[in-house]
């Protein structure tokens, strides 16, 4: 108990939170190890940790950290940066990670819309399957507009 990490926080309590929040992310569809690494980075005051620090903190191998970071970088939740004068990399969570992750969904929605439009053309807009795809296309177009407006309201609400 007590100040086990030099910050006034109980490291065991923080570790328990990391595992609980990672489980919440896993339940939402995140792979387990990326969820743990992401949460560890999110809870680090600096938002930055090396692979060795992550491995020690989570009690996992460097290979597990590497695979998790690869996934997290691919979905644009973390970035990599070199330590000045070193070959070591630090992994960092983006400052406005949830905003950035949500804003990046716009690109995904555009790709889905494009693919769905292609499907509607291929199936025919008057077939049951074509109508189902057209409704999906309309939904994602609507969602993209709403998402953009919501993000603008969020930015406006920030100091």
Residues 47-68: pLDDT tens digits?
999 999 999 999 999 899 999 9
Mean pLDDT of 67-82: 91
* Cα 110 off chain centre by: 19
The DSSP letter of residue 96 is T
Q: Domain extents for the chain?
A: 11-93, 97-157
Q: How far is CA 16 from CA 21, 36, 58, 112, 127, in A?
A: 9, 11, 11, 37, 52
Residues 15-56: pLDDT tens digits?
999 999 999 999 999 999 999 999 999 999 999 999 999 999
Number of C-beta neighbours around residue 3 at 10 A = 10
CATH T-level assignment (fold) for domain 11-93: Arc Repressor Mutant, subunit A (1.10.10)
Mean pLDDT of 68-81: 92
Name residues whose C-beta falls within 8 Å of residue 72's C-beta, 6 or more positions apart in sequence: 34, 37, 38, 78, 91
Strand ranges across the sheet with 89-93: 48-50, 89-93, 78-82
Contact 72, 127 (CB under 8 A): no
| Distance of alpha carbon 91 from alpha carbon 102, whole angstroms | 20
């Amino acid at each position: 108990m007590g100040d086990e990490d030099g910050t006034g926080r109980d490291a065991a309590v923080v570790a328990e939170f990391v595992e609980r929040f990672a489980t919440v992310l896993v339940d939402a569809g995140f792979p387990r190890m990326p969820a743990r690494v992401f949460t560890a980075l999110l809870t680090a005051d600096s938002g930055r940790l090396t692979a060795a620090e992550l491995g020690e903190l989570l009690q996992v191998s460097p290979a597990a950290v590497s695979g998790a970071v690869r996934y997290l970088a691919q979905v644009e939740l973390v970035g990599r940066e070199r330590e000045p004068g070193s070959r070591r990399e630090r992994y960092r969570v983006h400052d406005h990670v949830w905003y950035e992750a949500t804003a990046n969904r716009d690109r995904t929605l555009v790709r889905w819309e494009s693919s769905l439009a292609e499907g509607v053309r291929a199936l025919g807009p008057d077939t049951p399957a074509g109508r189902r795809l057209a409704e999906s296309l309309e939904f994602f177009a609507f969602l993209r507009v709403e998402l953009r407006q919501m993000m603008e309201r969020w930015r406006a609400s920030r100091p």
